[in-house]
Amino acid sequence: MARGGRHGPGGRIHVHQRNVDDQTQTIRGDIVINHEHLDGIIETEQRSMEDKTRREYRNRIKHIIDWLMVHYPTYFEEGTRLLSEDEKRDKVFFAHNTNRDLRYSGLNVQLIKACLSSKKKKNNHPVTGAVILSSVSDIKKYDDAIKWGSLWAHQPLPSEYYRELDAFIQSYKKEHKVAKKERRTDEQEADPISSTLFRMICSWAVNEGNIFVWVFSLAMWNLMSRSISIDGLAFHHIKSGMVRYDTSDFVRMAR
């Protein structure tokens, strides 16, 4: 059973919530790991994530740093740092093509929210001029990138960051939902398949009398793409149903 109480409904405990001891000095923290053992550690830790994902995270962190440099240059000087040569060579740290990183300890979450607020505006509709919003997953990936960067930089984020960003993303989900109703979201990002294609599949299934395809498509759309409206599929909403076989059904089954 999932843990509840003070750890939240999902039972997940963030690093900053754990009962830890950071005051006691690490025993022989200056000891040098030999190359054979170090290579074994790197080989294992590299498998925690694909390089494609690491590159994406580094690029997103770079986007944030570039945004800070343009809009808040004073914070850029203090809130980012140059990478060391060891960090650039570290295969697990994965500097990729960047030479700077955020300072995660003491990170100003208000500036991160300001950056994400600018990133959420993808483009303008070519006809109406309305602002098209980025997908929720796109914005969430910036948060994931920051948490990943914090982990490998060994700089814990402030607890305020978790509280503020979680609340920001939840609010953006609601904003995105409203924009979706107004057709102000990227259709390709909004759903696994577009609503136009979904309607075509359902129409074809009804016209062909293929009830299985129609029910399956409708169920998958609600379960995977429309989880918030799944209540409409409850059995108490079905007034009646009938399953009937005739000889033609058995003939088709025999084939």
pLDDT at 192 over 80: no
Lowest mean pLDDT among 59-68, 152-161, 193-202, 232-241: 232-241
The pLDDT value recorded for residue 53 is 86
For residue 241, what are its two tokens? Answer: 């149903």
Q: Which of 182, 184, 192 has the alpha carbon at shortest distance from 227? A: 192
For residue 1, what are its two tokens? Answer: 């059973």
Lowest mean pLDDT among 3-12, 28-37, 81-90, 155-164: 3-12
Calculate mean pLDDT across residues 49-63: 87
The pLDDT value recorded for residue 15 is 58
With both helix axes pointing from N to C terminus, report the angle between 51-71 and 136-153 in degrees, rounded to the nearest 10: 100
DSSP state of 82: E
β-strand pairing of 131-133 with 80-82: unpaired
The pLDDT value recorded for residue 1 is 40
For residue 92, what are its two tokens? Answer: 């697990």
d(CA 165, CA 58): 19
The pLDDT value recorded for residue 8 is 46
CB 211 within 8 A of CB 218: no
Reported confidence tier of residue 34, pLDDT bands at 50, 70, 90 = confident
For residue 42, what are its two tokens? Answer: 């790197």
Calculate mean pLDDT across residues 63-74: 96
Task: Find the length of the chain.
Answer: 255
Lowest mean pLDDT among 31-35, 101-105, 175-179, 202-206: 31-35
Mean pLDDT computed over every residue of the chain: 78
| Element holding 101 (H helix, E strand) | strand 100-102
pLDDT at 148 over 80: yes
Reported confidence tier of residue 9, pLDDT bands at 50, 70, 90 = very low
The angle formed by the CA atoms of residues 116, 87 and 85, to the nearest 5 degrees, is: 120
Query: Model's pTM, two decimal places?
Result: 0.60
